[in-house]
Structures are given as structure tokens and as C-alpha cells.
Amino acid sequence: MNEPNILIVDDMKANLLSLQKILKSTPATIIEADSGNKALTIVLENDIALILLDVNMPEMDGYEVASFLRDHETTKDIPIVFMTALDRTTENTLKGYMSGAIDFMYKPIDPQVLRSKVEAFLDIHNAKIQLSQEVNLRKLSEDKAIFLAEHDQLTGLGNRRLFHKKLKEEISRAKRHTSKFALLFLDLDGFKNVNDTVGHDAGDSLLKDLSKSFKAQIREFDTIARYGGDEFVIILSGIENEEEIVPKLSSLIECASKEYRFEEERLSVGVSIGVAIYPEHGENDTQLLSSADSAMYEAKKDGKDCFHFYNDVLNTKLKRIMRIDTLIKHALEKNELEVYYQGVIDLKSNTIIGAEALLRWQKNEELGFVSPEEFIPIAEANGSIHKIGIFVLQETVAFMKKHKDLKLAINASKAQFTKALFYETLKKYIDNKDIKVENIEVEITERVMFDEHDLENSYVGKISQLGVSLSIDDFGTGFSSLGCLKTYSIDRLKIDKSFVMSIPNKEDEALCRAILSIADALSLSLIAEGIETKEQRDFLLENGCLLAQGYYFCKPMSENKFRELLKRGL
């Protein structure tokens, strides 16, 4: 323990000197101040055990100094002994106590009395310090004990106890905000084998490494804990829908199946994940955990290294999304993609004047035919749409070179307008004169292009500046602002097939007429999609629609078949 500091305050040098002399043998450091102001500065900058304070000083007297110290949190407990030459009147004494004095000494000071008072105060001070140190130590070891009780020693992750606490908190939070969260129960596959063949140290090291990798996959506000030997639990907070956690599940599975090393040994395991969603699969912690646990057993039955949702319908749907997500990434290199063409018909002459390129994925061994409506959104989400979009463009350009009089339309996703790749590839083909710019058209789905802000930050304007025609696909299903149609020099609208296919139907007929008059008013060309009957064709022609697509004329078909159709005619 450091020697305590005693502050002596007096405006008379002689008094300070005599106090120094009296206290010479006291086990404390004596600090002097010759004014109230100096005394305050010293007190604020040092740890002071006791103040011997002269009452009568010019500028700031002892009462003021004492009141100031009493009013401040850090100084309010320092004992102050007043030293005064004033009369020993009740009034003076009371004033001193009111301003914060603990004791009084009357001048002239009796050295013997002063020394014993000071020693008594120092004893109290030392006892206080010792006590606060003990309290701090106990608090520290209590904190440590709580941490140990709630954490797993090997991996440093939370343990079962902490997890139950967090799960309960998460349930209350979700209840308050009527939000959803996912509970994942992970059980390693093949961990026992590592322990049995390579030893427990290797098993421990693997658990440590895996814990780190798992933790890196989740967000800061999610929770991960080690539930038991080779079991982990994860809470994914605040999810909007089940689809959004599929990529997370894939990355956790990928993490577990990576190769880990222990000394010279290569270790490999897998993981089975059971998933329960709050509140659908359990309203309290016990139900939810039991749902996640039983889903995990289903995952094991499914063949390990996979996930399983507690709900069967959800499970089938999300598993398929995950397979598509994995397989679409390799579809291009495996040559599984193909571009089909559907003729665009001039209704008056009943001839094919152009075509729409439509992507097909039907050669995957496991999945067979997958509709673009199903795989395109997944390819958009995982980013593979960029490469796929370039493939469609390449194929279409190659086709155009062989049929210079046809106008070809290709579909592009929103994401393709946010990166330079699609625009630059298109520009390259035009600059190299691979294609005639007036023969290519790019279709943008209305549903993803309704936001003006999105449009401004996209390549839509630049593509239009190349001279490429732009058309709005599925018109009538989204929320296009009509102003945007002009700003971005849209050339054509395509009436969504849902309106056309239901003709005869009074409402849809009225909608088709309304869209036709919008196109007319804005001098835009128009194509009706999805014509399946003669009646539909007649209705559209009578109402001034000149171009159409639909099974009534021809279905989308492979390049070869489409070539034959062109030769043969409708």
C-alpha cells in the first residue's frame, strides 16, 4: 500500500511549517497549500486521505473549500479537520460542521492531540482501502465464476446454461416485436471416429477449430453455443423468411466438411443440422429445442451432411432451393443450359418477324427440367446470373449472325443492370459490328424496375444510349411510373400473359384495352404475350395490337427447330 497523503492548508507560511514539524514522524506524505484555490487543485489531482484546513483565509475561506469538496462525488468523503483561531462559539462550530468538517482543532494547536487525531484518521483510511480492495477482488472472482459457469472451457463458446438463458431472451424479444427467428441444432457426423482413431487431443483441436469457423458464419447478434460433446446450437435472430437462411445453412455444412489438421493428421467430419422456426415450430424454449432436435435426427436419416426443417412442406421446398442453388452454379460449365426461341408474330400478315430468347435448363441429371421462373431468382441471389446472362447474349448473337433480318429480344435481370459486365459485352458486340444495333432488344421486367432511384443508378440509360431498344416485360403486373417510360426511352411494352390468357373475361379485356391506349398515347410499340386461342388473337387485333407471342402460333423451341419453323413458315 502506498503512503497516504495528508493535505495541510493555511495562508500563513509559519503555520504550515509548524504543522510539518508536528507531523514529521507520521507515516504519511504531507502536501502543502497556501490558499483555498490551490487546495482544491491538489485535491482534484491527488488521492488525499485527510485535510487539515485553516478556516480563516483571504479570497476563499475554509468553509467555501469544504462546501466545494462536499458537493463533488470524488471528493465528498475526504475527512476534513478544521483548524481555527476563532472563538469556540456554538455558531462557529455549527457553521463548520454544516460546511462539511468532521472535527475541529483550536489554535494554538496542541501537537500531541493533533498527532493522535491524525493517526486515528489514517487508521480509518487504511482500513477503508483494504476493504475496498477485498470487495474488488471478490467481484472479480465472482465475474470469473459466472463466466466459467456459462462458457465451455474448451471452445470458449457459451454453454448449455447460457444458451437456455439466451433462448428465453430471444423468445421474449420475438414475442414483443412479433418477429421470427431460427433455432439450429447441429450434430457432427463422424466425430466419434476422429476420437477413436486419432485420439482425444485431435478431437479437441477439431472442436476448437470448428467452433471458430461456425462462429465466423453468423452475425454478431446471433448466438452460438456448445450444447454437448459434438453438438452445437445456433440462434439466428430476426429473420424475415425461411429462404433467407438457406445460404447460411449451406455455409455451415461447407465449414464442417472442410479438412482440418491436427499435427500431421488430416481430420474430416460432417454436420447434420435440424432447424426449427419460432413461433411456428414451438412457442417456448423446450418445444422449440425438441423440434430442432428431432429435425436434426431427420437430417441424419436423410444421409448426413445436410439440413432438415421441422416442417415437411417447408423442408421439401427449401431443400430444392438449396439443390438448385448448388447445381445452377455449375450448369454452364457442364453444358446444361440452352437458349430456346419463341417467335414474335406480325398479326396482320401472320408471319414471324422476330423472336424472344428464353433460357432452358433441362439437362441436369438430378433435377431434370427446371423452369426459369424457379431457377432465375436463385441465380440472381447467388450471383451466377451474371455469367448466365452473358451466355444467353453470346448464343443470341451467334443466332443473329445467321438470321440478319430477325429482331431478337433477350431478357435481363435487375442485377445485370447494376454491373458493367452486361452493358460492356453488349457494347463490344455492337462496336465490333457483330450485330446490328436495331436488331437487338433487351427486356426488363416491370416488377423489378419500378423504382426511379434504381433506374437512375443502373446501366439502363447507357444501354439505351447505345441505340438498343428496351421493352418492359410483364407490363401491368408491376408499378411502372409512366414518366419513367419516357425518361429511359422505353420503346415497347409487353402485355403480361396473365391478362391475355384469361380472355374472354370482361375485366382483363378492359385492362388490355387500357394498356393498348397507354402505348398509343406514348407512341410505344406493343406485344401481347401468351396468346393461346384464336379468340384471344382476334380480340387483340381488333383492338389495334399488331404483334404477339403465344402457344397459339408457336411454343419456345430449340434453335434447330426454330430454324426449321422459319423456313417452313407458320
Residues that bind Mg ion (CB under 5 A): 411, 443, 473-474, 529
- Does 492 interact with ligand C2E (rule: CB under 6 A)? no
- Does 376 interact with ligand C2E (rule: CB under 6 A)? yes
Please select the residue that binds ligand C2E; options are 532, 541, 546, 561, rule is CB under 6 A: 532
Nearer to Mg ion, 261 or 555 (CB): 555
Instruction: Please report how close the Cβ of residue 410 comes to Mg ion at its closest, in angstroms.
Output: 8
Using the CB atoms, write b or e for 340-361: b if 16+ within 10 Å: bbbbbbebeeeebebbbbbbbb
Alpha helices in 11-80 (DSSP H): 13-22, 36-45, 62-70
Please select the residue that binds ligand C2E; options are 187, 474, 509, 559, rule is CB under 6 A: 474
Nearer to ligand C2E, 133 or 362 (CB): 362
- Does 446 interact with ligand C2E (rule: CB under 6 A)? no
Residue 37's alpha-carbon distances to 11, 12, 42, 66, in angstroms, are 11, 15, 9, 11
Please select the residue that binds ligand C2E; options are 226, 248, 281, 497, rule is CB under 6 A: 497
Q: Give me the residues paired with residue 355 across strands.
A: 343, 408
Contacted by 480, from Mg ion, ligand C2E, none: CB < 5 to 8 Å by type:
none
Contacted by 359, from Mg ion, ligand C2E, none: CB < 5 to 8 Å by type:
ligand C2E
Contacted by 532, from Mg ion, ligand C2E, none: CB < 5 to 8 Å by type:
ligand C2E
Q: What are phi and psi of 140, to 5 degrees?
A: -60, -45
- Does 480 interact with ligand C2E (rule: CB under 6 A)? no
- Does 473 interact with ligand C2E (rule: CB under 6 A)? yes
Please select the residue that binds ligand C2E; options are 529, 539, 547, 562, rule is CB under 6 A: 529
Please select the residue that binds ligand C2E; options are 263, 373, 507, 542, rule is CB under 6 A: 373
Strands (E), 55-179: 80-84, 103-106
- The secondary element (H helix, E strand) that includes residue 266 is strand 265-267
Q: Are 262 and 202 in contact (CB under 8 A)?
A: yes
Helix (H, G, I), strand (E, B) or coil at 568: helix
Contacts to ligand C2E from residues 389-428, by CB under 6 A: 392, 411-413
- Does 354 interact with ligand C2E (rule: CB under 6 A)? no
Q: Secondary structure of 303-321 in the HEC alphabet?
A: CCCCEEECCHHHHHHHHHH
- Does 305 interact with ligand C2E (rule: CB under 6 A)? no
Residue 304's alpha-carbon distances to 254, 256, 298, in angstroms, are 12, 11, 9
Please select the residue that binds ligand C2E; options are 273, 549, 557, 559, rule is CB under 6 A: 549
Q: Which bin fits 11, alpha (ψ -120 to 50), beta or left (φ > 0)?
A: alpha
Nearer to ligand C2E, 291 or 536 (CB): 536
Nearer to ligand C2E, 5 or 396 (CB): 396
Instruction: Please report how close the Cβ of residue 306 comes to ligand C2E at its closest, in angstroms.
Output: 29
Contacted by 530, from ligand C2E, Mg ion, none: CB < 5 to 8 Å by type:
ligand C2E
Nearer to Mg ion, 92 or 498 (CB): 498
Instruction: Please report how close the Cβ of residue 496 comes to Mg ion at its closest, in angstroms.
Output: 6
Q: Give me the residues paired with residue 411 across strands.
A: 443
- Does 359 interact with ligand C2E (rule: CB under 6 A)? yes
Q: Are 271 and 258 in contact (CB under 8 A)?
A: no
Instruction: Please report how close the Cβ of residue 345 comes to Mg ion at its closest, in angstroms.
Output: 15
Instruction: Please report how close the Cβ of residue 254 comes to Mg ion at its closest, in angstroms.
Output: 35
Q: Looking at residue 414, what DSSP letter applies?
A: G
Alpha helices in 272-415 (DSSP H): 285-301, 312-331, 372-382, 385-402
Nearer to ligand C2E, 84 or 549 (CB): 549
Nearer to ligand C2E, 45 or 373 (CB): 373
Helix (H, G, I), strand (E, B) or coil at 140: helix
Enter the C-alpha cell of residue 544: 389495334
Residues in Cβ contact with 187 at an 8 Å cutoff, skipping those fewer than 6 apart: 230, 231, 271, 272, 274, 296, 300
Residue 134's alpha-carbon distances to 4, 121, 127, 129, 244, in angstroms, are 18, 20, 11, 9, 51
Q: Looking at residue 158, what DSSP letter applies?
A: B
Nearer to ligand C2E, 130 or 505 (CB): 505
Nearer to ligand C2E, 220 or 373 (CB): 373
Instruction: Please report how close the Cβ of residue 536 comes to ligand C2E at its closest, in angstroms.
Output: 9
Instruction: Please report how close the Cβ of residue 553 comes to ligand C2E at its closest, in angstroms.
Output: 8
Nearer to Mg ion, 305 or 473 (CB): 473
Contacts 24+ apart (CB under 8 A), 454-459: 454/414, 455/484, 455/487, 455/488, 457/418, 458/414, 458/417, 458/418, 459/417, 459/418, 459/419, 459/420, 459/422, 459/423
Nearer to ligand C2E, 279 or 372 (CB): 372
State the residues that interact with ligand C2E by CB under 6 A.
342, 358-359, 371-373, 376, 392, 411-413, 443, 445, 473-474, 497, 529-532, 549-551, 556
